[in-house]
Every structure is written in structure tokens, then in C-alpha cells.
Structure 1
Amino acid sequence: MFSLNGIAVAAVTPFDRNGIFEEKPFRVLLDWWLGQGVHGMVICGSTGEVAYLNHPERQRIFEVAVEHIDRRVPVIAGTGFASTNETIEMTKTAAQIGVDAALVITPFYYPVSQKLLFEHYKKVASTSKTPVLLYNNPQVTHVKLEAETVAELSKVENIVGIKDSAGDWALLEKILKLTDEAFIVFSGSLKLLPAALDAGADGGILAIASVAPGLCVELYRLCKQGQPKEASALHEQLKVLIQGLNETYGISGLKTAIKLLGLPAEYPRMPLLPLSASEEQSVQKTLQQLNLLAIKS
């Protein structure tokens, strides 16, 4: 039975300047994140530029991650596509490789009703040999899983949890109230993480953990150990980091920050572009403001 509590990194995917996946830098990043004490690894998610990765590319990234992590922490693989059939095939591939769970984003492009979402996930889960996590990220898909639909899906065999990145506290709170304690709930929003943990969520799958994994793990620890004052202070620092990186510059901002930390992740895949010199200086200033350039090791 799949279980995970704590902070999972929403991993970036390193590319060279031509947009080719780089295995060696990816292994370096995996080791760094693991060394910072994270509890899980999410690969080929939104932060990993999954929308620009085809089936063979995802397969290779899954293979590298599973082999390199070697059961040190759970590996969660993003297997969702716009179509149900492609999602099923990618999820089957991920299971064969040995991932611990599949993170399946809602179908996108065409409007989809809650009934169709239920049928989509039911079909994926029934054909998968690995546990399935729902993934709600309406900012990028323009499709929203309602709490009532999540509650119904939580009763479907092999659907074990959800990553909710809607950033809507009322929705996340309702999901927590309508699902059983055994159903795993991750916040995809750092801003909502302390409140989510207090309400019974299991942890966070966070993009900012790709830049500041140790601080995210510490925030989780402080929240769980009942140190609200210290947790609030650290939470405010991390919100400044989010504002200066991904909220302003997106994935390119995260990758630039990682590069400035002396780690190998610089180039996004087109149509995303690297930051300009002035934008990179802005990212550097944010890192310096939080003394992050001194704690890269």
C-alpha cells in the first residue's frame, strides 16, 4: 500500500541548450534533493515541464529516477496526457519501470464535466498496476476537480490520494472533510501548506522545494511538532522566495535559481526561454535576501 507523509520535491527536468534531457545533471539534482532530507520525489510533473515531454522521454526519465533513487524515497511519476488512452499507456509504462505511484493530471484542452472526469480516472485506475494520485491544477488545465468528485473517486479501488494545486483553501478544506483519513492529500501550494497540515493533510508536493528543499522540510517539521511561531516565520520567508522566483518567472525562474546555487539546471525547453541578464540578477537578489546562496551544499 502506497503511503507518504512530508515534503516531496516537484522536480525540474534538466535540459541542454538544445532541449535534450540530460541524465547526469538529473542524477546530481536527485542526490542533492535527497541529501536535503526530502520525503518523496515527483518527476515529470508540471515543474518538470511535463507538457513538453513525449512518451519515450518520460519513460527514460522514469527509468533514471527509479534506478538512481533506488527506494530511498517514493518516486511519483507524472503520467497524465490529454487523452485517456495515452494516460493509460504511460501509466502502464511507469508501473513496469517500478515507480511507487502515478500522478495523473486532469484531462485538458477540451472542457470536461465532473462525470467525464470520474469515468476517466476510474478507467485509468482500473488498468493501472501502480497506485494512482489525482492531480488538480486548474490554473494550467482549466479543468477543476470538485471536492464531491474527489470524494467519489476516493472510493475507487487503486485511487489513493490527490495533489491539489488549485490554491483554493475552501476547496482543499472540503476535500479533507469529505475523504477518509486513509486517502492521501497533498497540498501543491506552499502558501496553504501550514493550514492544510493543521487540517489533516499529509504533506506538500512543492515546486519551491526544488530550490529550497531543506527549508521546506524544516517547515513541515515545525508544523508537525507544534511550533507555530517558528513555522510562521519560515513560511513568510518561503513566500518571499516564491514571489521572487516561480510567481514572477515561472519554471525559468526556478531553473535559474538552481543554476545560481551551483547545480546543473539552466535551460527550460521551448517555448519557455532562459531568463535575461537583468531577470537573473533579480533572482540572485532574492536568493541573497534569504541567504540561500550560502547553503547550497
Structure 2
Amino acid sequence: SYSPVTASPGTKILWQILALAAGRKVAKDILLFFTFFFIFMFLLHPQITRIGLIVHKTKRQDFQVLAGSAGFLMAAYCVGAVGGVCALANVLGPELCELERLCKSGCWEEARLLQQRLIEPNAAVTRTLGVPALKQAMEWFGFNGGPCRSPLQPLTEAETEQLRRGFSTNGWL
């Protein structure tokens, strides 16, 4: 039978957003289709045991796991993830690269301290205040975040102050 997975040449990307999947899991037969391809799994759920299990079960295959958030990036590195797809990288990209370097070189205490400082700003630009917060933070760091597109609205004054506190109390502003 025809399968777009096997019919398409080149690298395949399997994107599973666990936080939005309402408990559904990737079927084993789908994973088996990808056995001989480089795969990146984007995980937007801080369930480190699941990330670790996927890394473990695919260690003999061309399969790579990426964390989907800077909020648990260090933990994902600890269980075998190779990187992350992180909204916070739009603002604190060099710091996330430093976290990777620290983890890969085994400097766990320094990595832990840096990871702790990234959690609150990351939560603000993702699940707490979202895209408007990311755009505002980009402006603070010298990037053009641009205006929010409808239906999103710019941050209120109180939200902007909340965002500023999240970055400043962690030493970023």
C-alpha cells in the first residue's frame, strides 16, 4: 500500500506536540516507518521520562530527539536529547547555546544554575504571556519583534511589568 512516508525521499520529520496531543501517543508502526531516516522529535511537554524512553528505544536507529522548550532543556540533555526548539532562543540564543555547551562538557552545576535562570523568562514568553511577550522581549534585546497580528493583542502595562520582572529578577535585564 502507498505511504507518503516511504514514498518521499530524504529526511523525514516527525513532529509530536505532546502538550497538545491530549494523551495520544505516537504509534509504534509510525515510528518503524522512520527506522532508517534521520528524525527529529519535537517535544513540547516536560515529561522527561517520556523523552528518555524515546531516546532509549531509538538508540540503534537514526533518530534524534529535540526538547521543545528551554524550560526543561537541561533535563532533556541529561536523558539524551541532542538540542531544542526553543522560543526563548529568539531572545537569549547565546545563553541557550551556553547551556548546551555546559551540558555537553559535563559542567552540571553551572548548567543547573543557568537552567534555573531560564525557566521563568521561558514560561513568560510561552505559556504564561505567549507571543505578545516574546515580541516585547525581542524589542528589549534589540530585535524587531513587530506588532501582534489579530486576534492577539499587545501586552497590557501590568503584563509588560510582569514580563520585565521575570527577565530582570533572573539577571537578563
TM class, shorter-chain normalised?
0.7 to 0.9
Highest RCO, 1 vs 2 (Cα 8 Å, sep ≥ 6): 1
Identity %: 25
Q: Equivalents in 2 of 1:134, 1:199: separation in Å? A: 19
Give structure 1 stretches of 5+ with no counterpart: 1-118
Query: Residue 289 and residue 266 in structure 1: after superposition, are their counterparts in 2 closer, same or farther (change >3 A)?
Result: farther
SS of the counterpart of 1:282? helix
- Please give the alpha-carbon distance, in whole angstroms, between the structure 1 residues aligned to 2:5 and 2:54: 19
Contact 1:260-1:284 at 8 Å conserved across structures: no
CA–CA separation in structure 1 for the residues paired with 2:30 and 2:103: 26
What amino acid is aligned across from residue 180 of structure 1 in structure 2?
K
Counterpart residue number, 1:30:
none
Residue of structure 2 equivalent to 1:213: 93
Moved over 4 A (4+): none
Of the three residues 112, 131, 136, the one matched with 1:256 is 136
Letter of the structure 1 residue corresponding to residue 45 of structure 2: A
Distance 1:268 1:131, change over 3 A: farther
Size of the aligned set, in residue pairs, is 172
Of 56, 74, 80, the residue aligned with 1:200 is: 80
TM-score, normalised with respect to structure 2: 0.84
1:131-173 residue CA offsets vs partner (Å, 9 max, x unmatched): 1221111333547333745642432x54523112232222212
Q: CA RMSD in A?
A: 2.5
Structure with greater proportional strand content: 1
Choose which of 114, 126, 144 in structure 2 pairs with 1:234.
Answer: 114
Structure 2, unpaired ranges of 5+ = none
Matching residue's letter, 2:51: L
The answer to whether the 8 A contact 1:211-1:258 is kept is yes
- Is 1:275 paired with 2:155? yes
What TM-score comes out, normalization by structure 1 length?
0.52
Query: Residue type matched to 1:210 in 2?
Result: N
Deviation at 1:174, TM superposition (A): 1.3
CA contact (8 A) 1:211 1:257 kept: yes
Separation in structure 2 between the aligned mates of residue 202 and residue 147 of structure 1, nearest angstrom = 22
Identify the residue that residue 191 of structure 1 maps to in structure 2: 71
